[in-house]
Amino acid sequence: MSTETLLDFPFSARGDQLPPEIEELRAEPVKRVRTIAGDEAWLVSSYPLAKQVLEDPRFSLKDTSAPGVPRQYALTIPPEVVNNMGNITGAGLRKAVLKAINPKTDGLIDWMRAQATTLVDSLLSHGAPVDLRGQFTNPYAENLHCRILGIPESDAPRLAASLDIAFMNSACPVTGAKLNWDRDIAYMVERLDDPTTTGLIAELAALRNDPDYDHLTDEMLATVGVTLFGAGVISTMGFLTMAIFSLLQNPEMWERLRKEPEKIPAAVDELLRINLSIADGLPRLALEDVTLGDVEVKKGELMLVLVEAANTDPDVYPDPHVADIDRPNAGTHLSFGGGQHYCPATALGKRHTEIAIEVLLEKMPHLALAVPVDQLVWRTRFMKRIPERLPVLW
């Protein structure tokens, strides 16, 4: 056990500024920290070393949920669900899931544009100020995942209500987490049995009649729906909220996109690079002794990849704190992870945000914060940095 005084991690929950500890870590890109759970971990902050951890199979995501290993925080989902995409692949469901989350599937792009337009028109009818998170980014993400899964949009609020607990960072087990999980699994099982269900859940339900899938229980199929809704909504909502916030903090970027909307895809990559929506570290467990930079990592030690530090590494991104639409390597950011756990919904997440920005630029060209930035309240002990509310006017 180390006797040195350890940095406490995670750092600030504020999403309007990079935590000051990050610049201090430049000289020590693999540093011991203490997690919320009280365990020690290696915090990896330089781009090349972060990329190495994410891509090296000797660092495992699945094993971070094993009994007795050091933890970043208490689990709020069953341990076996942590490696969700790996489980989906192992169950033979990867093709169905990837098809469902492909933005080119079944008119999804047109649906997203129509949905974003409807929501923004509603805001315009309501009149400023409005909470853009509560009235736009939340329902836009929730309704998207209801459509993908083939469940009623009217059920989105009941599923979304679980996410405030499911994505908490807590030192000790959260009493409500299992109640959340059991309730949502029961809901998805009901949808499997509902003949009016469409989308991915209907495809999964149909597999129950295929002898090649006899090994899959209803609970295993329902788990796909619960995790896709939860992780998908939190990730798309969190990034979109922070992308809009970043644009409001960089009005020259917003103004340029008004004049050159064809630059929106490039802007989204740069917004992914600079956004601070990932509030924790991407966890991996060392499966054997590994040399990482100047550090000898021992088997069984916890690694935490600090994406916001890697994405602002000055050796990779010159002037890293400047939001530059023309940055040639913006797309190399690590905001979608890397290696075998690279986010499979990358194309969907980017297109979801691009369309939202297109609609906001068209219908609310003078969008701005309705309150001073220091009045925003940032959620604490949560896997994503998000403002509780994002009041705007136009």
pLDDT digits (tens, 9 = 90+) for 239-255: 999 999 999 999 999 99
Q: Are 62 and 90 spatial neighbours (Cβ–Cβ below 8 Å)?
A: no
Alpha carbon dihedral 156, 336, 346, 139, in 10-degree steps, equals 20
Average pLDDT value for residue range 217-224: 94
CA angle 26, 239, 150 (to 5 degrees): 145
Considering only 78-82, 101-105, 151-155, 338-342, which range has the smallest mean pLDDT?
A: 78-82
Taking the chain, what is the end-to-end CA distance rounded to the nearest angstrom? 55
- Closest listed residue to residue 326, CA positions, set 240, 249, 256: 256
**Dihedral of CA 369/372/374/377: which sign?**
negative
- What gap in Å lies between CA 235 and CA 350, rounded to an integer? 11
Average pLDDT value for residue range 123-148: 98
Q: Are 162 and 212 spatial neighbours (Cβ–Cβ below 8 Å)?
A: no
The β-bridge relationship of strands 40-44 and 302-305 is: parallel
- Is a pLDDT exceeding 70 seen at residue 1? no
pLDDT of residue 3: 55
Reported as a pLDDT band with limits 50, 70 and 90, residue 82 is confident
Reported as a pLDDT band with limits 50, 70 and 90, residue 71 is very high
The DSSP bridge partners found for residue 205 are none
- What gap in Å lies between CA 112 and CA 92, rounded to an integer? 28
Q: What is the mean pLDDT of the chain?
A: 96
Reported as a pLDDT band with limits 50, 70 and 90, residue 2 is low
* pLDDT above 70 as % of the chain: 99
- Closest listed residue to residue 389, CA positions, set 161, 130, 165: 130
Tell me the pTM: 0.96
- Distance set, CA 158 to CA 45, 96, 197, 203, 390 (Å): 37, 25, 17, 23, 22
Q: Are 382 and 279 spatial neighbours (Cβ–Cβ below 8 Å)?
A: yes
Average pLDDT value for residue range 280-295: 98
